[in-house]
Amino acid sequence: GNSVTQMEGPVTLSEEAFLTINCTYTATGYPSLFWYVQYPGEGLQLLLKATKADDKGSNKGFEATYRKETTSFHLEKGSVQVSDSAVYFCALSRNTGKLIFGQGTTLQVKP
Amino acid sequence: EPEVTQTPSHQVTQMGQEVILRCVPISNHLYFYWYRQILGQKVEFLVSFYNNEISEKSEIFDDQFSVERPDGSNFTLKIRSTKLEDSAMYFCASRADGNTEAFFGQGTRLTVV
């Protein structure tokens, strides 16, 4: 079946450090891939998405590239800020629109 | 900017009671979803709804759960007889036709005591 696996958290970084959160997926066909972010006490917000192989999604300095050969969609940011502290969810969707989420990775950025 | 709204933000109920969680999806969206997130765990799909009927449901969505779109704007999730393990954050989401992006509400935190 379809599934998403994310790296275990929490990830603790200093401000301006480089961030990578790994995400790999298992799916039949060609899913769309997403990163959602959940700030403390808030709901889920779409951070970025990619709908086909080799697409790069980007938003607010975050990037992720849809790698079909490695079935991965790793999230990266060159310089994190304290305000980026949140839980990050990788997710996939097939043509039904149902989202399958990874377990989430907590990011803590310290000043 | 249009958004999905959910009410209430927090609901406390006694075990065995019925609860109704309410959602107002974005007005031109046609696909509606409920997800739940037990504290500290992943977000899990419950049910999807399109054209006034359930299009897909997970094994979590048993006979205790039901969804309804009673009018042109609301989308509700009912739990008939709540159990302690139903305590979770419940998220509503909606999606436009032809779009891959689902928009989520802020969630309703359900606490069953």
Please indicate if any CB of chain A lies within 8 Å of the CB of B55.
yes
Q: Kindly report whether the peptide bond that precedes residue B8 is cis, defined as omega within 30 degrees of 0.
A: yes
CB A22 within 8 Å of CB A7? yes
Is the pLDDT score of A15 beyond 90? yes
Question: For residue B17, which amino acid is it?
Answer: Q
Which of B100, B101, B103 is the best substitution to test chain A (most A C-beta atoms within 10 A)?
A: B100
**Distance from CA of residue B109 to its chain's centroid?**
11
Is the pLDDT score of B26 beyond 80? yes
Is the pLDDT score of A92 beyond 90? yes
B42: nearest CA in chain A? A103
Q: How far apart are CA A45 and CA A59, in angstroms?
A: 12
Residue contact A99–B33, C-beta within 8 A: yes
Query: Where does the pLDDT of residue B112 fall: very low under 50, low under 70, confident under 90, or very high at 90 and above?
Result: very high
pLDDT, position B92: 97
pLDDT, position B73: 86
Residue B8 has φ and ψ, to the nearest 5°, of -75, 175
The pLDDT of B20-43, averaged and rounded, is 94
Q: How far apart are CA B110 and CA B13, in angstroms?
A: 8
Q: What is the share, in percent, of chain B residues with pLDDT greater than 70?
A: 100
pLDDT, position A4: 96
The pLDDT of B16-40, averaged and rounded, is 95
Tens-digit pLDDT profile for residues A35-86: 999 998 888 999 999 999 999 999 999 999 999 999 999 999 999 999 999 9
pLDDT, position A40: 86
pLDDT, position A25: 97
Nearest to B64 by CA among B39, B47, B41, B52: B47
User: What are the structure tokens assigned to A19, written together?
Assistant: 């961030």
- Per the prediction, chain B carries an average pLDDT of 94
Lowest mean pLDDT among A26-30, B24-28, B54-58: A26-30
Is the pLDDT score of B14 beyond 90? yes
The pLDDT of B60-74, averaged and rounded, is 92
> Which positions in chain A touch B102 (Cβ < 8 Å)?
46, 93, 97, 99
Is the pLDDT score of B9 beyond 90? yes
Is the pLDDT score of A20 beyond 80? yes
Query: Where does the pLDDT of residue A89 fall: very low under 50, low under 70, confident under 90, or very high at 90 and above?
Result: very high
Q: How far apart are CA A26 and CA B40, in angstroms?
A: 23
**Distance from CA of residue B33 to its chain's centroid?**
6
User: What are the structure tokens assigned to A35, written together?
Assistant: 């990163």
Residue contact B48–A51, C-beta within 8 A: no
CB A87 within 8 Å of CB A37? yes
pLDDT, position A68: 94
Q: How far apart are CA B47 and CA B65, in angstroms?
A: 10
Residue contact A36–B41, C-beta within 8 A: no
Residue contact A97–B44, C-beta within 8 A: no
How far B73 CA sits from the closest chain A CA (Å)? 20
Strand, coil or helix: B39 = coil
Query: Of the candidates B44, B56, B105, which has its C-beta nearest A96's C-beta?
Result: B56
- Burial class (CB within 10 angstroms; exposed 0-12, middle 13-18, buried 19+) of B49: buried
HSE at residue A36, side-chain half, CA atoms within 13 A, is 24
